[in-house]
Chains A and B, each alone.
Chain A
Amino acid sequence: QKEVEQNSGPLSVPEGAIASLNCTYSDRGSQSFFWYRQYSGKSPELIMFIYSNGDKEDGRFTAQLNKASQYVSLLIRDSQPSDSATYLCAVNMEYGNKLVFGAGTILRVKS
């Protein structure tokens, strides 16, 4: 089983819709979880982090964490064409201070 799993997509949503991106992880002891956005040909940039069960909101972005189900998600409200990118889920595994990344989900927002 991969340590961090994401659906590779592409996930296509119309402009203005809600995009929902999902991630599961294998290490039950993981403490902190991150969403990075990566535009084509660019380096990843952090958009959200969460380490408590529940929801965390920042502007149009909401991260959701369910440790019992080992599941973390990212919701993007009012999706814009500029949100089109690859979204990488990353987990700080209990066994070391280093992030393990999923393969990423490609998001396409169509105007």
Chain B
Amino acid sequence: NAGVTQTPKFRILKIGQSMTLQCAQDMNHNYMYWYRQDPGMGLKLIYYSVGAGITDKGEVPNGYNVSRSTTEDFPLRLELAAPSQTSVYFCASSYGRRDTGELFFGEGSRLTVL
């Protein structure tokens, strides 16, 4: 099983450029999430989805967009990149049960905006 696959692993953007971080899972999870992690900080939720066609904002959604057209894929779009978006981005998925709450994480995408 591949689990949660994120691409690219590393990317450097110039200010104002746009890009899409790809995320795919093969565990048939309904719930998918995008988090960002700044150095020395915990994970901040950007967007999440409880199923295909359904997305909702997390704690820090500004400057990002998402879509969920299939159960497997949950891409994160960065529009007009800014230095404040320099971070490590983690995609995760879960069964969506409150009591277990186990998130399965991808390996992360390290983004630098210069």
Return B111 CB to nearest CB of chain A, in Å: 15
Known contacts: A97-B50, A98-B48. The answer to whether A31 contacts B98 by CB under 8 A is yes
The docked-state distance in angstroms from the alpha carbon of A36 to that of B90 is 14
Scoring B40, B59, B101, B103 by chain A CB atoms within 10 A of each residue's CB, the highest score goes to B101
Minimum CB distance partner of A36 in chain B:
B103
Report B78-107 CB contacts with A as 1/0, cut-off 8 Å.
Answer: 000000000000100000101111110111
Asked whether A44 lies within 8 Å of B105 as measured between CB atoms, the reply is yes
Asked whether A92 lies within 8 Å of B43 as measured between CB atoms, the reply is no
**A: contact size bracket:** 20 to 34
Report A1-26 CB contacts with B as 1/0, cut-off 8 Å.
Answer: 00010101000000000000000000
Interface size on B, residues (CB 8 A): 25
Q: What are 29 contact pairs spanning A and B, CB under 8 A?
A: A6-B42, A8-B40, A31-B99, A32-B98, A32-B101, A34-B101, A42-B108, A43-B90, A43-B107, A43-B108, A44-B90, A46-B101, A46-B102, A46-B103, A49-B99, A49-B101, A51-B99, A88-B42, A92-B98, A97-B31, A97-B50, A97-B96, A98-B33, A98-B58, A100-B45, A101-B35, A103-B41, A103-B42, A104-B42
Asked whether A49 lies within 8 Å of B33 as measured between CB atoms, the reply is no
The docked-state distance in angstroms from the alpha carbon of A100 to that of B59 is 9
Minimum CB distance partner of A6 in chain B:
B42
